[in-house]
Chains A and B, each alone.
Chain A
């Protein structure tokens, strides 16, 4: 990278770089906070130049746009992009949450511990949390144990703020269970709500209380391709009213 790459902030803010240069400079931006800060200010400055030449568009443009949006599906909250026509789920933009395999593995460990009465977690507070969750939900682990024993069980997990959710599904048993652990406690008037997501949108799979652990028997997975969890007003919502705190693909 040439030493004067930093001086490209102006040209970049004005969209005046060639495509190749733009790409290279964006790589630089990812690792240079000084340029990132300067670009933000210069882009805002350029926008002022743009706003200074405002011209009212013709009224028919307004009508066309207002009709067009009624036919245009929005990206859903949280950046999940649902592509309608070909039935494919589009790229998923992960911003606030990521799937961390290690935490997912820990969740499965807790599940196994619950199912077989063996707890193998070292940190004391984690142990207490896990034991509390397990004793509360002892009965609910029967279907989990059954699923874990199925030859065709598939699992998938997501994490958020230290909590995790694991989905286990078996086609031969025609059974799907979602288990959460260590979910951050929300105010009493809120609840975690689980959603099945496909190109048609969101449908509710059920509620999981306002925090810590829980088990949900999923009876209506439908053709969901993704699972999302949002925080909703107690009692749940018809459609999500906030961005998913977590989402992951339905086990294959």
Chain B
């Protein structure tokens, strides 16, 4: 049903007609120390990780640094992964988002951060961010589902997820009460969940 992002099974099968291992199967091999499994896993997950990290961190060199950190951490902690934690991609993206957000928040502590928030309040710049996300999404389905949200739901989610803002900052940027943003992030994501057909 929702195959736009999910199929992590590589299509290359070396002409043997054998299904290539899934990211989940590879991660199990990686946990046993297999470097070749990690190399195959890299081919499946490095681009989603790098794309998300770059979206949040912006600076190219820092984005590469954070991506490397995330990938090495996946190698280091592969034995913690179990299928109950969801797909391997989900596992990787959750780690990538958190590391990217940690990077921008620690780098932009105090005044820097305030200036960034102030700069983001500028309507033109915000429109640019929203536009960029809307036009560059590689997954048609995610774009379609995003466009099915209310403006406030979409803007809140885009700022929080793709820009790495806290919900307090989102409230400030959108000049909307904190409680409203909290609710919009939740009901917006629930609508995305249902639109994408995500199950726990």
Query: With A and B bound together, what is the CA distance between A51 and B139 in angstroms?
Result: 8
Q: Which of B50-58, B110-118, B123-131 contacts A (4 or more CB under 8 A)?
A: B50-58
A14–B157 CB distance below 8 A: yes
Q: Is B177 an interface residue (CB 8 A)?
A: no
B interface, over-half SS: helix
Taken residue by residue from 75 to 117, chain B's Cβ proximity to chain A (1 for < 8 Å, 0 otherwise) reads as: 1111110000011011001101110010000000000000000
Q: CB within 8 A of B79: which of A10, A16, A56, A75?
A: A75
Query: With A and B bound together, what is the CA distance between A64 and B46 in angstroms?
Result: 13
Query: With A and B bound together, what is the CA distance between A40 and B142 in angstroms?
Result: 18
B138–A43 CB distance below 8 A: no
Contacting residues, chain A, for B46 (C-beta < 8 A): 56-57, 61-62, 65
A74–B33 CB distance below 8 A: yes
Taken residue by residue from 50 to 65, chain A's Cβ proximity to chain B (1 for < 8 Å, 0 otherwise) reads as: 1111111110011011
Q: Is A69 an interface residue (CB 8 A)?
A: yes
Q: Is A72 an interface residue (CB 8 A)?
A: yes
Q: What distance in Å separates the Cβ of A24 from its nearest Cβ neighbour in chain B?
A: 14
Q: Which of A76-84, A100-108, A126-134 contacts B (4 or more CB under 8 A)?
A: A76-84
Q: Is B182 an interface residue (CB 8 A)?
A: yes
A66–B42 CB distance below 8 A: yes
Q: What distance in Å separates the Cβ of A168 from its nearest Cβ neighbour in chain B?
A: 30
With known contacts A10-B189, A16-B166, A61-B64, A49–B142 Cβ distance under 8 A: yes
Contacting residues, chain B, for A245 (C-beta < 8 A): none
Q: CB within 8 A of A61: which of B38, B68, B76, B199?
A: B68
Q: Is A124 an interface residue (CB 8 A)?
A: no
Q: Is B198 an interface residue (CB 8 A)?
A: yes
Q: What distance in Å separates the Cβ of A82 from its nearest Cβ neighbour in chain B?
A: 11
Taken residue by residue from 207 to 249, chain A's Cβ proximity to chain B (1 for < 8 Å, 0 otherwise) reads as: 0000000000000000000000000000000000101000000
Contacting residues, chain B, for A171 (C-beta < 8 A): none
* Pairs of residues from A and B, 3 with the lowest C-beta to C-beta distance, nearest first: A10-B186, A10-B185, A52-B139
B interface residue numbers (CB < 8 A to A): 5, 31-33, 35, 38-39, 42, 46-48, 50-52, 54-55, 64, 67-68, 71-72, 75-80, 86-87, 89-90, 93-94, 96-98, 101, 133, 136-139, 142-143, 146, 157, 160-162, 164-168, 170, 179, 181-190, 192-193, 196, 198-200
12 residue pairs bridging A and B, Cβ less than 8 Å apart: A10-B185, A15-B160, A40-B86, A40-B200, A41-B193, A47-B97, A55-B51, A66-B35, A72-B72, A74-B77, A74-B78, A74-B79
